[in-house]
Amino acid sequence: VFSTVGGSVTLPCRGVNRKDCSTTTWVFSSRSQRAAVELVNLGKIRDQKPGRVSLGSDCSLHVHTLSTQDTGLYTCQQFVYDQQQGEDSPVSLSLLTIQVSPGAELRTGSTVTLHCLLDTNWSPEHCPSPLHSYTVIWVTETGAELQGDRYQISSSPCSSYLTVRLQPSDHSRQWRCDVTQDRAVTFTHRYSTLLTDGSGARPTPQKPGRTETSPAGKTPVTQSEPGPGPEMTSSSVTGT
């Protein structure tokens, strides 16, 4: 399952024993934590952040305001009288992000680097997973791989840097990053470059861009306008 930082996700649970979720337990584990964390115990929310986790009517797990710390393995289990019923129902969550450097205002003629990163539960040396051949690529809005002399692209399986010198036509342009598996698109993330000297644009140094995200083949379903952060350089970001 894929989502983005700041977004929400619904994780399915298979083999639910009771429709009221009174037998359902959700456990979270990741490579950055020594021990698993119980998010739901027999239908009762145990997460320490109120409102961040909820259960659906089918006992699926809804996680809101996602951060990179939420990347990992979520396991749904069924218990009756302290005895597990059936097998575990695991779901792996990966987050796709686009980081921008510089993080200040963007102007015509300036150079910007967009870093599309797939954050997974696998260790960096095993990205993509041995079981899944995921690739992160920059594409045009028609889905063709982005090519041309003005684009400098450096990629690894789960990370791709795009460096470009901005032109007037890049104002409000959506830069699209895809996650593919065996050449089929599984998830899409977009970033819009808003130029302070663009056509009809007012200077907006606090909101240099906009991100849009959608599952493959669908229109964007979430939007966010991140504020400025510390400047990122290619050497300061490590792909996973």
Q: What domains can be seen in the chain, in order of their start residue?
A: 2-94 (2.60.40.10), 102-193 (2.60.40.10)
Tokens of 193: 């470059």
Q: Give yes or no for a contact between 159 and 116, defined as CB atoms under 8 angstroms apart.
A: yes
pLDDT band at residue 229 under the 50/70/90 scheme: very low
- Model pTM? 0.74
pLDDT band at 239 (very low <50, low <70, confident <90, very high): very low
Question: What does the DSSP assignment read for 155-199?
Answer: EETTEEEEEEE--GGGTTEEEEEEEEETTEEEEEEEEEE-BTTST
Least confident of 76-90, 168-182, 223-237: 223-237
Which is higher by pLDDT, 121 or 71? 71
**pLDDT tens-digit readout, 180-202:** 887 789 899 999 999 998 764 44
Query: CA 176: distance to chain centroid?
Result: 13
Query: How does residue 224 score in pLDDT terms, banded at 50, 70 and 90?
Result: very low
pLDDT for the residue numbered 227 = 39
- Averaged pLDDT of the chain: 81
Residue 149 has pLDDT above 90, yes or no: yes
**Euclidean distance between CA atoms 164 and 153, whole angstroms:** 9
Position 30 pLDDT exceeds 70:
yes
Residues 143, 178: Cα–Cα separation, whole Å = 9
Q: What integer pLDDT is reported at residue 126 of this predicted model?
A: 55
186: tokens are: 């599984």
Mean pLDDT, to the nearest integer, of 143-147? 92
> For residues 73 and 93, what is the distance between their CA atoms, to the nearest angstrom?
6
Query: Across residues 116-130, what is the average pLDDT?
Result: 70
**In the predicted model, what is the mean pLDDT of residues 117-126?**
72
Number of Cβ atoms within 10 Å of the Cβ of 155: 15
* CA angle, residues 81, 86, 88, in degrees to nearest 5: 105
- In tens, the pLDDT along 44-55 reads 999 778 789 999
Task: Inform me whether the pLDDT recorded for 2 exceeds 60.
Answer: yes
CB 91 within 8 A of CB 76: yes
For residue 68, what pLDDT is reported? Answer: 87
CA distance 212 to 94: 17
Predicted local distance difference test score (pLDDT) of residue 206: 37
For the record, the structure tokens of 7 come out as 């977004």
Q: Which of 12, 10, 11, 16 is nearest to 78 (CA)?
A: 16
